[in-house]
Amino acid sequence: MKMQDAENFDFFDEKLAEIEDPELLDALSELSAESQLAIYMRFWENRSISEIARRLQVSWERADRILTTALLDLRRQIQRPLHDVLKGFAA
């Protein structure tokens, strides 16, 4: 990860505490900080891949790969359709 300041990810711990769905919380906690941030930005903040790439200081392609891999990991862990789980977070 190119981000030098790990504190950029600390705020996500507070957001995780707001999640009431234990299955989603467990699945998110298994992701890397970089993947958690990508999921947060996409579904909580409704950010574009380009915005995620800028925040993570990676290429657009790498940000897309991070998000895609994170979503695949979540799908493997959550027994319900992921769309149903995350739809309440989209702005």
- Contact between 53 and 59 under an 8 Å Cβ cutoff? The reply is yes
pLDDT at 3: 44
Q: Tens digits of per-residue pLDDT, 6-49?
A: 455 556 666 666 777 778 888 888 899 899 889 989 988 899 99
Counting residues of the chain whose pLDDT is more than 70, the rounded percentage is 70
Q: What is the pTM of this model?
A: 0.73
- Contact between 2 and 57 under an 8 Å Cβ cutoff? The reply is yes
